[in-house]
Structure 1
Amino acid sequence: MARRHSATAVLTAVVVLLSMMAVPGAAAGSRSVEYLDATPVVVSSPGGAVVAAERFWELQLNLCNSGIAGCYAQGRSVPEAADLIRRVRPNLVTLNEICSGDVPGQLAPALTQAWPGDVIYHVFAPAIRRDTGTPVKCTNGQDYGNAVLGRVAAANYRGVNAWSGRYTSQDSGNEQRTFACAYAVGDHLSCATHLSASSEPVALAQCRALLFDVVPNIRSVEGVSGKTVVGGDFNLEYDTSDPENAQNCVPPGHVRKGDGDVQHVVFSNDNAFVSTAKYGMSHTDHDGWLVRLTKP
């Protein structure tokens, strides 16, 4: 069984870094990923009325905040994203190209403000350096990677289990791609990932590993019967003439909604699709991509 950690009590809002230890004996998906150790951070915001969770909105964001890429805007994409979270009030946010401090520092507090009285959790997974096996760093010294940030209605909260891993298939670059997943027990399973930017065949292999191997493995181990949502920068486009068409990593029973570029949200079809919206961002090179769903 692949390792995951649960949180059933309120934890302090500190980021717990992943160890680089592989977990032996993983079930389905063990050939395509190396599972890593992960711990969720759960923040409970006391007070305020509990809002009925009749909708489930997913916001996908690539914030280009490493400090290295040309799209970096001196950290201004993070408060811009926090403002969007407060305005849109998503239930779930999948995040790429962030630093480990961005979520507890600004993004999780924004979701707490959007949903007062409910439970807010986040799971961060760093990208891994090929040469050292240690986390890739932002220029500010924090770990660089992906995160899932989510909300559970206080009345429905039963704990959060965190999963993360590194794909077996990688391009030749030093940054090895990873995923972060969170199972809000009895409510939803969500994953965030950022796939290879230099090889579409590798990106497709990583995408299929996550959606065809990892997600079914987590659902089996956790006994998940509810909704599943995966968001990220797949570095794949929807193009039926391309062998690396983003649609080729969508399993049966799932639906994909893309932003017309490389960001996609894939969800189990027990979620009812409502609509999408694109939000122009001034301080990153990707739009905010919102997919509106409703609970089954």
Structure 2
Amino acid sequence: MSRRSAAVLAIAAAFGLGTLVPSAAPAAAAERFWELQLNLCNSGVPGVNCYAQGRSIIEGGDLIARLRPNMVTLNEICANDLPDYLVPSLVKAWPGDRVYAQFAPALRRDTGTPVKCANGQDYGNAVIVRVAAANYQGVKTYSGRYAGQDGGNEQRTYVCVYAIGDHLGCATHLSASSEPVALAQCRSLLFDVIPQIRAAEGVTGKTIVGGDFNLEYDTSDPENAQNCVPPGHIRKGDNDVQHVVFSNDIAFVSTSKYGMSHTDHDGFLVRLTKP
């Protein structure tokens, strides 16, 4: 026993306070971890009614800067949207920390080459992650095309970033024309791809997946979004087709939706904490 602890007990005895037990050190506080899912509809392809001449990128970036998420999953963006505005928005939100982004294009069935936005840039999905500077140990990235696809020319893909020692985050955009195919793609990512990445990297948990699944939560539907959630994981949705699935070693706090003027999807924020 330290001299200070002995003195505390002696004072307690002298004043008839009974036995005082020195308090244990306080438990470390859980770390705030917020995930923001955005479908920004920025392809510019003719006939896509939600396209707004790039204004959704400014709107999405401003939301990122305001909400300060730890991770952002993005659908329907052009490759240069990341360095032009979206990544700087997260850097602005977390000055001094490490911010990393990875983009993966959708692929054409006929050529196997990237699908293009109207401006000629690659079109697809991305993950942006923030890691506290003191915790940064580097990142590793993974991306791929699903084996199962619908009959359209746009073949769906996923992209994942492993922030070493911190978390594994993935983004995807699933088939829009076939719910059975979308469910199969979702299960491929959650039940096959992610366990393979975890095994390769020695990751045991702290995994977050966000995206436009083109599936709704509906217990009467065989293609219920909940049917692609593995054991040990939790799903939260926006009451439409956007979902975030996370491993249950991350604690759920709350969700919020943010109406967007220049895309046809809400911004969907999932507030989490991780040990």
Q: Quick check: TM above 0.5?
A: yes
**Residue aligned with 1:148, SS:** strand
Match of 2:134 among 134, 141, 155: 155
Partner residue, 1:63: 40
Match of 2:240 in 1: 261
Select the residue among 164, 170, 173 that pairs with 2:149.
Answer: 170
Within the alignment, does 1:180 sit opposite 2:162 as a pair? Answer: no
Q: Contact 1:186–1:226 (CA<8 Å) still a contact in 2?
A: no
Q: Deviations over 1:231-272 (max 9, x none)?
A: 000000000000000000000000000000000000000000
Distance 1:85 1:199 in 2: 31
Number of paired residues?
A: 245
In the other structure, the counterpart of 2:211 is: 232
Asked whether 1:248 is paired with 2:227, we answer yes
Distance 1:267 1:238 in 2: 16
AA aligned to 2:56 is S
Q: Work out the CA distance in 2 between the residues paired with 1:123 and 1:180.
A: 7
Amino acid at match of 1:56: F
> Which SS does the other structure have where 2:54 is aligned?
coil
CA contact (8 A) 1:112 1:120 kept: yes
Identify if the C-alpha distance between structure 1 residues 121 and 53 changes in structure 2 by more than 3 Å, giving closer, same or farther. Answer: farther
- Structure-2 residue corresponding to 1:3: none
Structure 1 unaligned spans of 5+: 1-51
Equivalent residue letter for 2:37:
Q
Displacement of 1:226:
3.9
Cα gap change, 1:211/1:229 in structure 2, threshold over 3 Å: closer, same or farther? same
**Gap runs ≥5 in structure 2:** 1-28
Task: State the identity %.
Answer: 79
Task: Report the aligned-residue RMSD.
Answer: 1.0
Higher relative helix content: 2
1:93 pairs with 2:72: yes
Looking at structure 2, the residues matched to 85 and 176 of structure 1 have their Cα atoms a distance apart, in angstroms, of 28
Q: Deviations over 1:19-72 (max 9, x none)?
A: xxxxxxxxxxxxxxxxxxxxxxxxxxxxxxxxx982000000000000022100
- 2:256 pairs, out of 277, 284, 291, with 277
Q: TM-score with structure 1 length normalisation?
A: 0.82
Q: Aligned partners of 1:267 and 1:162: how far apart in 2?
A: 18
Tell me the equivalent position of 2:93. Answer: 114
Look up the SS of the partner of 1:85 in the other structure. Answer: helix
Whole-angstrom distance in 2 between the partners of 1:73 and 1:128:
23
Deviation at 1:225, TM superposition (A): 2.6
Write the letter of the residue equivalent to 1:121: Y
| Letter aligned with residue 74 of structure 1 | Q
- Does the CA contact (< 8 Å) of 1:187 and 1:226 recur in 2? no
Q: CA offsets per residue over residues 83-125 of structure 1, 9 Å max, x none?
A: 0001000000000000000011100000000000000000100
Letter in 1 for 2:192: D
- Aligned partners of 1:256, 1:79: CA distance in 2, in Å? 28
Q: Which letter maps to 1:233? A: D
Secondary structure of the residue aligned to 2:151 is: coil
Question: SS at the partner of 2:150?
Answer: coil
TM-score, structure 2 as length reference: 0.88
Aligned to 2:194: 215
